């Protein structure tokens, strides 16, 4: 959650000689209005260009009276499968339910162990807990924030049945090594790609490399719906059929239940809206990547001075920057400073999952997973959304640089 903006008095003349701005130049000459708000996320510039298409899509569903299942969902599933380069896509009610249904479909439950990174959104762990399996937390790589495959190797035991690598912030985990380890031990792999639809790993799409790939269409995601939604992708026909049944209370045909599933269905209204948005996704990815590149260029000298660390796009990968996350020891001070200047930020995530109260019984303590714990003290996400304009971006850049002069 980004902090609320607090209005402050006009800061007066601002200088930034490193960016060619001379001393005593009026603030308005810096290329932005000092009073302009820069939210952490603004959906207006995303929705306005496709407003009529979105309205038409919703009206089309209303006129059809096909609100559950139907042609909109069928078409969206085909389009997502094609985009991801897989045979099957199953629309579900949320990214959380995508994870839950995948675990259920793979038969994971009581007595089993599932290894996940501790530095991720709660749904990754909550879904494992809900099927009755034991969560085993793994530390992360400090550069990508993704699961560290070498530590993964040391956590596998006889009870281990699955691994859930998370492609955090829009960049894929080290899937070659993770898949190699999991194949050696006969483990299922569920990719949590909630933040990474469209990210690539050596030419392969996020979500397409494991047994199942899970996406979220929460409105803040790169492909966001107009409410909750999610999807699961797979190359496995039998698994896909199982998932289609589980999302509908375990019924492959009405009133005949082979399994106990749940109500994990994606509404037709969401499918229709997402169909309008999917063709825009590559353009939005490039907007995010452009914003990220310009931030990196503007802050490169700060990184060289050891003042902060910038996100890295590793070779062979395409980062889609669901978040642009920097690291610095003075994280809270920078967040307060940007907040005071009407710039939204967010901390993903302030407390690793192994230290959450609800998982106390698992026996982890502070210091158990030190890389994740340090990341939780240092990470800060800056606005990077499509439609972030040059004036807003310049203000973010200027204010970050000014912070390090204070």
Q: Hey, which residues does 325 pair with through a beta bridge?
A: 381
pLDDT digits (tens, 9 = 90+) for 114-123: 999 999 999 9
pLDDT digits (tens, 9 = 90+) for 197-236: 999 999 999 999 999 999 999 999 999 999 999 999 999 9
| Residue 25, SS3 per DSSP | coil
Cβ neighbourhood burial of 310 (10 Å; 0-12, 13-18, 19+): middle
What residue spans of 148-192 are helical by DSSP H?
A: 149-153, 175-185
* Predicted pLDDT at 10: 28
* Predicted pLDDT at 231: 98
* Predicted pLDDT at 34: 73
**CB of 196 within 8 A of CB of 206?**
yes
- Average per-residue pLDDT in the chain? 92
* Predicted pLDDT at 25: 34
- Find the Cα–Cα–Cα–Cα dihedral 237, 239, 244, 250, rounded to 10°: 140
Buried b (16+ CB within 10 A) or exposed e, 311-345: bebeeebbbbbbbbbbbbeebeebbebbbebbbbb
Token couple for 221 = 């995601």
* Predicted pLDDT at 385: 98
Report the distance separating Cα 61 and Cα 170, nearest Å. 31
- Find the Cα–Cα–Cα–Cα dihedral 388, 394, 395, 400, rounded to 10°: 110
Residue 253: which pLDDT band, with cuts at 50, 70 and 90?
Answer: confident
Query: Measuring CA to CA, which residue among 295, 394, 388 is closest to residue 28?
Result: 394
Q: How many residues does the chain have?
A: 406
Mean pLDDT of 136-161: 97
* Predicted pLDDT at 11: 30
Residue 6 DSSP symbol: -
Instruction: Bin 181: left if φ > 0, else alpha if -120 < ψ < 50, else beta.
Output: alpha
How many CA atoms lie within 13 Å of 164's alpha carbon, on the beta-carbon side? 36
Residue 267 DSSP symbol: B
Cut 0.85: pTM above it: yes
**Worst-scoring range by mean pLDDT, 8-12, 175-179, 315-319, 345-349?**
8-12
| Residue 91, SS3 per DSSP | strand
Q: What distances in angstroms separate CA 91 from CA 53, 126, 133, 218, 288, one per listed residue? A: 21, 20, 24, 13, 25
pLDDT digits (tens, 9 = 90+) for 61-92: 999 999 999 999 999 999 999 999 999 999 99
* Predicted pLDDT at 32: 66
* Predicted pLDDT at 28: 52
**CB of 222 within 8 A of CB of 190?**
no
């Amino acid at each position: 959650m980004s902090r609320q903006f607090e209005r402050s008095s006009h800061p007066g003349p601002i200088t930034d000689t490193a960016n060619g701005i001379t001393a005593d130049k009026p603030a308005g000459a810096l290329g932005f209005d000092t009073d302009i708000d820069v939210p952490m996320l603004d959906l207006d510039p995303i929705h306005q260009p496709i407003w009529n298409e979105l309205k038409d899509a919703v009206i089309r569903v209303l006129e059809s009276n096909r609100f559950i299942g139907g042609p909109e969902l069928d078409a969206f599933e085909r389009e997502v499968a094609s985009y991801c380069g897989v045979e099957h896509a199953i629309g579900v009610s949320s990214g959380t339910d995508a994870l839950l249904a995948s675990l259920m479909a793979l038969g994971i439950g009581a007595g089993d162990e599932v290894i996940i990174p501790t530095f991720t959104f709660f749904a990754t762990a909550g879904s494992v807990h809900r099927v009755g399996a034991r969560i085993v937390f793994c530390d992360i790589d400090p550069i990508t924030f993704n699961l560290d495959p070498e530590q993964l190797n040391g956590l596998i035991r006889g009870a281990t049945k699955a691994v859930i690598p998370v492609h955090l912030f829009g960049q894929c985990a080290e899937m070659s090594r993770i898949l190699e380890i999991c194949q050696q031990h006969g483990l299922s792999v569920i990719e949590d790609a909630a933040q990474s639809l469209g990210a690539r790993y050596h030419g392969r799409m996020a979500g397409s490399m494991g047994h199942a790939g899970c996406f979220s269409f929460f409105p803040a995601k790169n492909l966001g719906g107009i409410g909750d939604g999610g999807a699961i992708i797979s190359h496995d026909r039998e698994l896909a059929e199982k998932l289609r049944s589980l999302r509908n209370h375990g019924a492959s045909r009405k009133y005949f239940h082979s399994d106990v599933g749940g109500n994990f269905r994606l509404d037709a209204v969401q499918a229709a809206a997402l169909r309008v948005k999917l063709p825009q996704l590559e353009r939005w990815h490039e907007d995010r990547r452009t914003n990220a590149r310009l931030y990196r260029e503007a802050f490169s000298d700060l990184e060289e001075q050891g003042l902060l660390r910038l996100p890295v796009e590793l070779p062979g990968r395409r980062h889609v920057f669901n978040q642009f996350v920097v690291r610095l020891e003075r994280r809270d001070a920078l967040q307060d400073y940007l907040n005071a200047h009407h710039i939204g930020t967010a901390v993903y995530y302030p407390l690793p999952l192994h230290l959450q109260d609800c998982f106390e019984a698992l026996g982890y303590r502070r210091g158990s997973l030190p890389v994740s714990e340090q990341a939780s003290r240092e990470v800060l996400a800056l606005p990077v959304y499509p439609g972030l304009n040059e004036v807003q971006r310049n203000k973010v850049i200027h204010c970050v640089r000014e912070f390090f002069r204070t």
